[in-house]
Structure 1
Amino acid sequence: MSCIDRPVCDVTPGVNVMSSGNLTAYDRSSDSNPVPARPQRLTVELFEQPDSIAIRNKRAGGPWVFLLLWLIGWTVGCVFLVGQVITEPELGMIAFAVPFWASWLFVAGLLVWMIFGQETLVLKPDEALFLRTALVKLSSRRIPRDEIQGFRECRSKHTENDEHLWGIEMVTLGKPVRFAFRLPDRERAWLVHALNGFLESTGPDIDPGLRLSASGAHRSLLSSTSAGNEVIDLDDTLPGPPSETAWQLTEEVDGFTFSEQGRLHPGALGTLLFINAFWNGIVLVFVLALFGFMPMDEGPEGWEWWGMFVFLIPFEAIGLAMFAGLIAVMLEPFRHTKWCFEQDRIVQRTFWPLYTHTKSWNVAELDRLELRRSKSDSNSSLGDKSPFGLAFVAQANTDLCEIPNLTEGEARWLAGVVLELRPDWFGE
């Protein structure tokens, strides 16, 4: 899921954490504090029914007035360049205009989100529906109730006016849903409490660590976005994968295989398209001027030519790296990864167009499986990577291999299959 200006959540240090099976829980020492009170006036639209609760949040904040004024002036320049390209359709003029047009598209899209963006969450006893719109539907997601762990508050990594933004996160066995940034602290704390209360009243108990202690908004985060390891046995696994997983299980006569088909991430693609058009467009203008393809009388000569040539090298190198990133994102839907579990070894194969990478590990004296979380949550619009990994650890307490970029639900499901079909690997 991707959208314009989606913050990535970080954690607040200092929370005392304890292990609770396959869940992460808070130290409940602050539960004596009062429950958050409902503010007299809400900035969100709240719809409460006996069997559902819905929240509609309109995107607000940010320098949209300044951007609107900037865009008006920028539009005049872009229209002028369109006329120039039509009357003089030369390569140099087109290259000169591309960064201006790319900037206009980026800021226009950002303005549409700032002015018309809406986030809607509908929570029912059996599922949750989440929708982002800005004149048109940007993204939507449906999460089954049994995959919802609860709600908590989260902090964005980026800042506005040197301050972090705080929002609400719905924790799931798959990728989390983050929304409602820029709400007042008291309103956000009360909404988290109300959403968790609805989950408790309409379904199984949620993770107790996700229940809001009334110690304030900035202490309501779990440490589940910090690094950590957990040894997994069958009691800590899941019988099936999360609903939106890209992983599939294939059982064969002599083994079984987990396979994953790559997916296109529109947010990453759009961001890299803009960066490449802007940066490489500017660099291309200088390169064309260097070789005399710009509409000017003369290009540089002699030592001036060589000085400009050397000066452009680092900018060209950065542009090539950006272009390589764009190609990688565009090829991601064609990537196919397989983890094959044979009788005595594990084989990883990654298939790209015209290229296949294979790596294998002999399985001898495995000790345990570990669920690992990376130090920081990397669910960003560029990478969209999941922060969990499933590690295979040998009896010598050394890593054998690790399946990376999993959600927690995927990791627990994969671990359950391995422990059930290969118990002899772990001396069971």
Structure 2
Amino acid sequence: MAELDPPAQGALLSEPIAPADPAVWREWAERVHDAAARGACLRVRGGGSKDHLGDTTRGELLDTRDCQGIVAYEPSELVIRARAGTPLAEVETALAERGQHLAFEPPRFAFHADGSGAGAGAATLGGVVASGLSGPGRVSRGAVRDHVLGCTLMNGRAEVMRFGGAVMKNVAGFDLSRLMAGSMGTLGLLLEVTLKVMPQPVVSATMRFEMPQAEALAQVNQWAAQPLPLDASAWWDGLLVLRLRGARAAVASAVQRLYRERRGELLAPPVADAFWQGMRDQSDEFFQRARQAVAQAGGQGVALWRLSVPPTTAPLEVHGEQLIEWFGGQRWVCTPAPAAAVHALAARVGGHAQAVCSAQPLPCVDEAALSPVLLRLHRQVQRAFDPQGVFATGRLLPLSA
């Protein structure tokens, strides 16, 4: 396959900064121009709640919190638009007042990379999109990218680019705004984000069942294939926990059915809410123990990994504790296994792996795990948005690749 040439400057449509745009955008544009001229790099950062993700980054800090605020919110249209530096807590408070929420449940990390507290209110909307992280409900309600309707971006030429819009439409071509989800700030500087929001669930119920891992995987996939209002799942240490959400009658009927089939225990709402919050924020006992294990091992190679695999994948043969979410599609593993072995394990079952907590920071994407074609596509997309490498911090992909 012949390598494509990087797109010309006009290939991705851009526009000048408008008088009505925030003044700080002009300051940022000057910084981007200056960095490109000097061959320097800019490290985009919001509240720092996700500093533990990806490789150690280089570059001069550019703080997105200098520009924040909700620009537009239309509850009847289920759409919100806000500056990238807006605190996630501010957005969620505004949504909650109208009985709505971000259905993909973005995490609110309350710790630093070393395990110390970072403050649960540190997360920003730009970081939510750039990290691409979703909580327990992702399996039933979609990932971050599925809720991104549009965005405004400053590329590596200091050009402002607007993608998408404020409504869901059937359109031809690729939705470039979705590329920002999981890009870790390496394609440009997010300025504004437009997201789809959803009504809060009418009724929620959580059930807990005792069963070993293999049996839990088979059972949850069997239930997921049936007309049940299953919303989220988690398995750890011999316990399968299911969340059901939907209409009152549907949830009540499902609870009775699951109880008849497997007995189980219906958790009290405060207990259930605390559990799912721990799953969402990666603060539950499993994650606490994993971070402690990494810290105690020092440089001995213990790491917490997140593996995305097909939901029906059999139990993974790897040493270490495991927690399973998303009906089997997300496997958390705390293991001393070498990084190459973990990536190879994920690849063998048709998935991929990412180090979430490790003594030695690792890129979000393992170069060796990508096919030459896919790696080339990654690089070409980066060059199209950022030909001078102003945002190439090494956080997503190794700089040497």
Instruction: Give the TM-score of the pair, scaled to structure 2.
Output: 0.28
Give the strand-richer structure, 1 or 2: 1
Instruction: Give the TM-score of the pair, scaled to structure 1.
Output: 0.26
Between structure 1 and structure 2, the one with the greater Rg is 1
